[in-house]
C-alpha cells in the first residue's frame, strides 16, 4: 500500500490489466515506491494522467518468425518489440534472445529502459525486444536464417530516428551483424539503426566494455560520496560471466579491488585471497563459462554447484551482473549478515522489490541498474552520435565521456535523493530524476 490514493489506484489497474505479468508488475511497484514521495506534492501528475500513460507501452509489436534449421526442419518462434516511451527521443534499448523471453519480461525491461535512458542525459526513449529463440547450440547459418526472417518483418518498425535496437542477453555482435546487414539490404540504406555494431561498419570503440566499466565508475562515486573511500582492497563478488560481469571483473581488478567470488550459469568459485581475474576474463570470453575450469586449474579453490549459493559468501560489495530476479529478501539478509554494505546492480533488476526495500531499510547502500548499468546504453548513444556525424572517436575519448556520464548520473540520483530527504536512497533518486525529464517532455508534447 502506498500513502497516495492515486498510486494505489493506478497499481490496481496495472495488476488487473496485466494479469500474470509478474516481472512487469514488480518493476512498476518498485518505481511507485519512489513516486510515493512525489505525486502528492505535484497534483499535475494525476491531473495529466502521467502515470496511467507511462505504464502502457506506446506500441507492442509481435510477429511470427519462421525459419529452417540445418536439418531442413521448419521452426517457428515469436518476435517482439515493445516501444515503450518516445517522449525524449527515439525508442532505444536492447534485444534479448532467450527461451524465457515473453511480454512480461520485455515490458519490464522497456519500462526500466525509459528511465535509464533519461538518466544518461542523452536523447533516447525506451524500448526493448527480442524473441523466445535460444541461439546457444545453433550454427552460425541457423542464427543468420533466424535473424533474416526476424528482420523481414522488423525492418518496418525501426530506423535511426524511430527505434534503435542493440544487444542484450543472447544477442551479441554476431546477431547485430546479421540483422544490420539484412536491414541495409531491405531498406537500401546504410544508417546507424543498431548500436553495438562491429567497428568496421559503424560501431563504437568502448561499447563492449561500457556497461561493466560504467558500473565500476558508478561504484567509485558511491564509495567516495558515502564512505569517503575507494575500492582498493575491498572484497567484491560478481554474479554472471557474460559481457557485463566479465568487464566489471576486469575493471574492478584494475582499480585494485579484491574479487573473492564470481559465478556463471553452472556455479561459482570463492577464494578469500582473491581470484585470478585474467584467467576468468579469458575463459569467459572464449566459452562464456569459467567456473568449473577455474576450480580444476587452481589448487585449493572449490567449485560450488549452482550460482545462487554465492550470496552467502562474506564480502564488502556485491555486483549482481547476471539477470533479473537473482536476489530475494532472504539473500539480502544473508548478504547483510556477512558484512556486505553495498550492492550495485549490473544487470536489470537482479534484486526483487522486497530485497530492495530490505537494503534501503537496513543500511545497505543500494543502487538500481537503471542508474548503475546505464553505461552500456550511454555508449550506444555515443555510437549514434558518431554515426550521425560520420566520425569515429578513439577508445580514450569514449571512455572519458562514459566516466563523465556515470559521474553525472550518480550526481543526479544523489542530489535528488537528498532533496527528498532520503540521502542514501539512490533508487529513489534514480526513479525521480529519470522520471522528471520524461514527465516534462510528456507535458510539453500534449496528450499523445
Query: Which residues are marked as active site?
Result: 128
- Report the distance separating Cα 8 and Cα 84, nearest Å: 22
Cell (9 digits) for 147: 535473424
Q: Give the residue, chosen from 30, 98, 168, 276, that forms a contact with ligand 2IT under the rule CB under 6 A.
A: 168
- Report the distance separating Cα 365 and Cα 367, nearest Å: 7
Give residues 95-124 in contact with ligand 2IT (rule: CB under 6 A): 116
Q: Tell me the window of 20-28, 90-98, 305-313, 327-335 that interacts with ligand 2IT (CB under 6 A).
A: 90-98
Q: Pattern 122-161, binding to ligand 2IT, x per CB under 6 A? A: ----------------------------------------
**Residue whose Cβ sits closest to ligand 2IT:** 94
Cell (9 digits) for 67: 525459419
Give residues 15-44 in contact with ligand 2IT (rule: CB under 6 A): none
Give residues 284-343 in contact with ligand 2IT (rule: CB under 6 A): none
Q: Give the residue, chosen from 10, 67, 88, 92, that forms a contact with ligand 2IT under the rule CB under 6 A.
A: 92
Cell (9 digits) for 263: 559465478
Give residues 367-406 in contact with ligand 2IT (rule: CB under 6 A): 376-377, 380
- Measure the CA dihedral 271/376/120/439, to 10°: -100
Q: Which is nearer to ligand 2IT, 340 or 430 (CB)?
A: 430
- Measure the CA dihedral 52/57/58/63, to 10°: -150
Q: Indicate the helix (H) or strand (E) that contains 368.
A: none
- Report the distance separating Cα 267 and Cα 257, nearest Å: 22
Residue 166 near ligand 2IT by CB under 6 A: yes
Q: What is the CA radius of gyration of the chain?
A: 21
Minimum distance from residue 111 beta carbon to ligand 2IT (Å): 12
Can you list the positions of beta strands (E) in 252-316?
Answer: 258-263, 267-270, 303-305
Q: Indicate the helix (H) or strand (E) that contains 264.
A: none
Q: What is the DSSP letter of 144?
A: H
Minimum distance from residue 376 beta carbon to ligand 2IT (Å): 4
Q: Which is nearer to ligand 2IT, 92 or 283 (CB)?
A: 92
- Report the distance separating Cα 380 and Cα 386, nearest Å: 10
Q: Which is nearer to ligand 2IT, 284 or 377 (CB)?
A: 377
Residue 94 near ligand 2IT by CB under 6 A: yes
Q: Are strands 342-344 and 365-367 parallel, antiparallel or unpaired?
A: parallel
Q: Give the residue, chosen from 79, 93, 126, 214, that forms a contact with ligand 2IT under the rule CB under 6 A.
A: 93
3 state SS of 129:
strand
Minimum distance from residue 180 beta carbon to ligand 2IT (Å): 14
Q: Which is nearer to ligand 2IT, 197 or 235 (CB)?
A: 197
Residue 163 near ligand 2IT by CB under 6 A: no
Minimum distance from residue 116 beta carbon to ligand 2IT (Å): 6
Minimum distance from residue 166 beta carbon to ligand 2IT (Å): 3
- Report the distance separating Cα 239 and Cα 231, nearest Å: 18
| Residue 355: HSE in the Cβ half-sphere, 13 Å Cα cutoff | 28
Minimum distance from residue 354 beta carbon to ligand 2IT (Å): 22
CB 245 within 8 A of CB 322: yes
Q: Which is nearer to ligand 2IT, 168 or 276 (CB)?
A: 168
Minimum distance from residue 94 beta carbon to ligand 2IT (Å): 3
| Closest among 182, 318, 301 to 248, alpha carbons compared | 318
Give residues 338-367 in contact with ligand 2IT (rule: CB under 6 A): 348
| Closest among 242, 188, 237 to 211, alpha carbons compared | 242
Q: Which is nearer to ligand 2IT, 291 or 380 (CB)?
A: 380
Q: Which is nearer to ligand 2IT, 201 or 420 (CB)?
A: 201
- Report the distance separating Cα 171 and Cα 184, nearest Å: 19
Our CA angle for 83, 84, 88, nearest 5°, is 105
Q: Which is nearer to ligand 2IT, 257 or 406 (CB)?
A: 406
First-to-last alpha carbon distance for the chain, in angstroms, is: 30
Minimum distance from residue 93 beta carbon to ligand 2IT (Å): 5
Q: List contacts with ligand 2IT (CB under 6 A).
A: 92-94, 116, 166, 168, 195, 348, 376-377, 380
Amino acid at each position: 500500500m502506498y500513502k497516495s490514493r492515486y498510486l494505489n489506484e493506478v497499481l490496481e489497474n496495472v495488476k488487473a490489466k496485466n494479469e500474470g505479468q509478474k516481472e512487469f508488475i514488480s518493476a512498476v511497484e518498485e518505481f511507485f515506491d519512489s513516486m510515493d514521495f512525489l505525486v502528492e506534492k505535484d497534483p499535475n501528475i494525476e491531473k495529466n494522467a502521467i502515470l496511467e500513460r507511462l505504464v502502457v507501452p506506446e506500441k507492442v509489436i509481435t510477429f511470427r518468425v519462421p525459419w529452417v534449421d540445418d536439418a531442413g526442419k521448419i521452426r517457428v518462434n515469436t518476435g517482439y518489440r515493445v516501444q515503450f516511451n518516445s517522449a525524449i527521443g527515439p525508442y532505444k534499448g536492447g534485444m534479448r534472445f532467450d527461451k524465457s523471453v515473453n511480454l512480461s519480461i520485455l515490458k519490464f525491461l522497456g519500462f526500466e529502459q525509459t528511465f535509464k535512458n533519461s538518466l544518461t542525459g542523452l536523447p533516447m526513449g525506451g524500448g526493448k525486444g527480442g524473441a523466445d529463440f535460444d541461439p546457444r547450440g545453433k550454427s552460425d547459418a541457423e542464427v543468420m536464417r533466424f535473424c533474416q526472417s526476424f528482420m523481414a518483418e522488423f525492418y518496418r518498425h525501426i530506423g535511426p530516428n524511430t527505434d534503435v535496437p542493440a544487444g542484450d542477453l543472447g544477442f551479441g555482435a554476431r546477431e547485430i551483424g546479421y540483422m544490420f546487414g539484412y536491414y541495409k539490404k531491405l531498406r537500401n540504406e546504410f544508417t546507424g539503426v543498431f548500436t553495438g555494431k562491429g567497428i568496421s561498419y559503424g560501431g563504437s570503440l568502448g561499447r563492449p566494455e561500457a556497461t561493466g566499466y560504467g558500473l565500476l565508475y558508478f561504484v567509485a562515486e558511491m564509495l567516495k560520496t558515502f564512505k569517503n573511500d575507494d575500492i582498493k582492497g575491498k572484497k567484491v563478488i560478481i554474479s554472471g560471466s557474460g559481457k557485463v560481469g566479465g568487464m566489471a571483473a576486469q575493471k574492478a581488478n584494475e582499480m585494485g579491488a579484491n574479487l573473492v567470488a564470481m559465478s556463471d550459469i553452472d556455479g561459482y568459485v570463492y577464494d578469500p585471497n582473491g581470484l585470478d581475474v585474467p584467467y576468468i576474463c579469458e575463459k569467459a570470453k572464449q566459452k562464456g563459462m569459467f567456473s568449473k575450469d577455474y576450480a580444476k586449474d587452481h589448487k585449493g579453490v572449490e567449485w560450488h554447484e549452482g550460482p545462487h549459493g554465492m550470496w552467502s559468501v562474506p564480502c564488502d560489495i556485491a555486483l549482481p551482473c547476471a539477470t533479473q530476479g537473482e536476489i530475494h529478501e532472504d539473500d539480502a539478509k544473508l548478504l547483510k549478515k556477512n558484512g556486505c554494505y553495498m550492492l550495485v546492480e549490473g544487470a536489470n533488476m537482479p534484486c526483487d522489490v522486497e530485497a530492495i526495500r530490505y537494503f534501503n531499510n537496513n543500511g545497505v547502500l543500494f543502487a538500481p541498474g537503471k542508474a548503475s548499468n546505464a553505461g552500456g546504453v550511454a555508449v550506444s548513444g555515443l555510437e549514434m552520435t558518431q554515426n550521425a556525424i560520420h566520425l569515429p572517436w578513439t577508445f580514450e575519448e569514449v571512455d572519458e565521456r562514459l566516466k563523465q556520464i556515470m559521474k553525472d548520473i550518480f550526481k543526479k540520483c544523489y542530489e535528488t535523493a537528498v532533496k527528498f530527504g532520503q540521502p542514501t536512497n539512490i533508487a529513489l533518486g534514480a526513479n525521480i530524476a529519470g522520471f522528471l525529464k520524461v514527465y516534462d517532455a510528456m507535458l510539453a508534447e500534449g496528450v499523445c
